[in-house]
């Protein structure tokens, strides 16, 4: 990519082309559980280069407003969440969830003229979503499958990833790496072990890709050798602009991620597991809470992983040598994060050397670049129709004569009404 493309794809602050594109979607902002009850402490939220404050008011409604007071710029994080508003602790100005100044004690007559930035929010799938785009363009709420299930059928976590969203998200699109960095933990991790397909993943790392552009983004077909009469397909969904759905592993919960820019050099990596037809089994749910599978162990009280760039992701050279872990880093998410963070906060794209197995990430870049440029010309973005988001990933053996590209459009859409395809 040349520098202009890199800038276009990786800069997401207010007014940038990619920032404008991303602001046309509902943006995952925080976990509902971060503001668990009315009048609880407010939470700082950093997304798309903006410094915001989330709070739940006395009526339980969520507000997402500018972090800083309109008076002299004190942080409302220090404020009092009381009587349906957040009150600045400095001189007592108070704002409601819409950013209206509802009390200005020293000059009440001025209050109606004072407003701070605020964004509409909805709660769905254990996530507070914010809409940060033009008022008249607000899309329908997201309908990703995991959002539509009962709470007991899903587990959602988020972690800080210390690099740009693009290089992080590209790990979610690139199915080839499962044969390498995750190789030795496929058989031991509680959310991956005993999947029949692990043997195909390990036996054949030379994935052959085919990619289909769809109304939601991309369907990415990764073909490996299966049985003598079949191919093993890992079918990944990328839903514009930042969702990925992971091909499942045997009977375990399905998984997905969201990659949301905090600023241009950090992102939130959201990880979701879900079962479409039943509650998560207690032992798997506990393993997720303990940081197994695609979730992580944290530095207590934060969303920063215990294994992070400052401690070389706790790499264990003995585990690497003894083939307990391919890279020596523990856990699927930190294995991915370590390699992506090791590229630096923003990968030097001028030095990359792409090969055919990188075709999927190239296509995703193209879709995003085109969507951002199109929006500048007034052409509407893809995947705004919530129904188009109801797709599913698959891990499936198909007869060698079956074309996966023809099989997928009827088998992996309208996900709530379809069986799960997983081996
Ligand atoms: S700075 Fe907030 S009320 Fe004065
Ligand atoms: Fe991975």
78 Cβ below 6 A of ligand 1: no
- Does residue 229 carry a pLDDT above 90? yes
Q: What is the pLDDT of residue 178?
A: 81
- Does residue 198 carry a pLDDT above 80? yes
The Å distance, Cα 107 to ligand 1 centre, comes to 12
Mutate to test the pocket of ligand 1, among 53, 72, 87 (most ligand atoms within 8 A of CB): 72
The CA distance from 405 to 234, in Å, is 12
- Confidence bin at 215 (pLDDT 50/70/90): very high
The Å distance, Cα 84 to ligand 1 centre, comes to 18
Among 235, 227, 282, 260, smallest CA distance to 399 is for 227
Q: What is the pLDDT of residue 115?
A: 98
74 Cβ below 6 A of ligand 1: yes
- Does residue 205 carry a pLDDT above 80? no
Give the pair of three-digit tokens for residue 48.
Answer: 């798309």
Strand partners, 62: 56
pLDDT tens for each residue of 394-423: 999 999 999 999 999 999 998 888 899 999
Q: Which ligand is the nearest neighbour of the Cα of 201?
A: 2
Q: What is the pLDDT of residue 281?
A: 95
Instruction: Show Cβ contacts of residue 248 under 8 Å, excluding neighbours closer than 6 positions.
Output: 254, 255, 393, 394, 395, 420, 422
Instruction: Show Cβ contacts of residue 341 under 8 Å, excluding neighbours closer than 6 positions.
Output: 161, 162, 163, 308, 309, 313
Exposure of 115 by Cβ count < 10 A (0-12 exposed, 13-18 middle, 19+ buried)? middle
CA 72 to chain centre: 35
With a pLDDT cut of 70, the percent of the chain lying above it is: 100
- Confidence bin at 186 (pLDDT 50/70/90): confident
Ligand 1, atom 4: closest residue by C-alpha? 91
Q: What integer best gives the mean pLDDT of the chain?
A: 95
90 Cβ below 6 A of ligand 1: yes
Q: Which ligand is the nearest neighbour of the Cα of 257?
A: 2
Q: What is the pLDDT of residue 37?
A: 98
Q: What is the pLDDT of residue 128?
A: 98
pLDDT tens for each residue of 85-126: 999 999 999 999 999 999 999 999 999 999 999 999 999 999
Q: What is the pLDDT of residue 36?
A: 98
Ligand 1, atom 1: closest residue by C-alpha? 72
Instruction: Show Cβ contacts of residue 311 under 8 Å, excluding neighbours closer than 6 positions.
Output: none
- Does residue 194 carry a pLDDT above 90? no
Q: Looking at residues 5-12, what average pLDDT do you find?
A: 98
Q: What is the pLDDT of residue 317?
A: 97
Neighbours of ion ligand 2 (CB under 5 A): 336
The Å distance, Cα 68 to ligand 1 centre, comes to 9
pLDDT tens for each residue of 148-185: 999 999 999 999 999 999 999 999 998 788 888 998 88
The Å distance, Cα 74 to ligand 1 centre, comes to 6
- The answer to whether the beta carbons of residues 125 and 16 sit under 8 Å apart is no
């Amino acid at each position: 990519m040349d520098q202009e493309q890199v800038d276009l794809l990786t800069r997401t602050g207010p007014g940038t082309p990619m920032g404008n594109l991303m602001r046309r979607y509902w943006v995952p902002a925080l976990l509902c559980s971060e503001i668990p009850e009315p009048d609880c402490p407010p939470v700082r939220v950093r997304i798309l280069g903006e410094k915001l404050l989330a709070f739940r008011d006395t009526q339980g409604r969520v507000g997402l407003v500018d972090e800083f007071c309109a008076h002299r710029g004190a942080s409302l994080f220090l404020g009092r969440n009381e009587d349906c508003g957040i009150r600045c602790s400095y001189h007592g100005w108070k704002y409601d969830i819409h950013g209206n100044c509802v009390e200005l004690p020293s000059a009440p007559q001025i209050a109606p003229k004072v407003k701070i930035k605020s964004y509409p929010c909805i709660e769905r799938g254990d996530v507070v979503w914010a809409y940060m785009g033009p008022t008249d363009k607000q899309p329908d709420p997201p309908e990703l499958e995991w959002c539509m299930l009962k709470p007991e059928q899903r587990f959602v976590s988020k972690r800080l990833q210390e690099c740009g969203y693009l290089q992080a998200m590209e790990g979610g699109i690139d199915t080839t790496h499962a044969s390498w960095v995750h190789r030795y933990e496929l058989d031991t991790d509680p959310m991956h072990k005993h999947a029949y397909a692990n043997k195909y993943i390990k036996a054949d790392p030379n994935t052959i890709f085919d990619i289909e552009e769809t109304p939601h983004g991309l369907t990415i077909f990764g073909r490996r050798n299966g049985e003598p009469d079949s191919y093993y397909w890992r079918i990944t969904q990328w839903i514009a602009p930042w969702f990925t759905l992971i091909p499942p592993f045997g009977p375990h919960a399905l998984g997905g991620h969201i990659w949301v820019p905090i600023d241009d050099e950090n992102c939130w990596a959201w990880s979701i597991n879900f079962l479409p037809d039943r509650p998560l089994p207690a032992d798997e749910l506990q393993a997720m809470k303990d940081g197994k599978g695609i979730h992580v162990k944290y530095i207590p009280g934060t969303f920063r992983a215990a294994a992070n760039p400052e401690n070389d992701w706790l790499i264990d050279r003995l585990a690497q040598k003894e083939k307990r872990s391919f890279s020596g880093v523990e856990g699927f998410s930190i294995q991915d994060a370590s390699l992506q963070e090791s590229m630096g906060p923003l990968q030097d794209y001028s030095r990359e050397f792409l090969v055919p197995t990188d075709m999927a990430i190239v296509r995703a870049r193209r879709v995003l670049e085109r969507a951002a440029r199109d929006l500048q010309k007034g052409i509407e973005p893809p995947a705004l129709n919530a129904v188009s988001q109801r797709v599913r990933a698959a891990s499936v053996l198909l007869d060698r004569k079956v074309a996966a590209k023809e099989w997928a459009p009827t088998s992996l859409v309208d996900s709530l009404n379809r069986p799960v395809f997983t081996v």
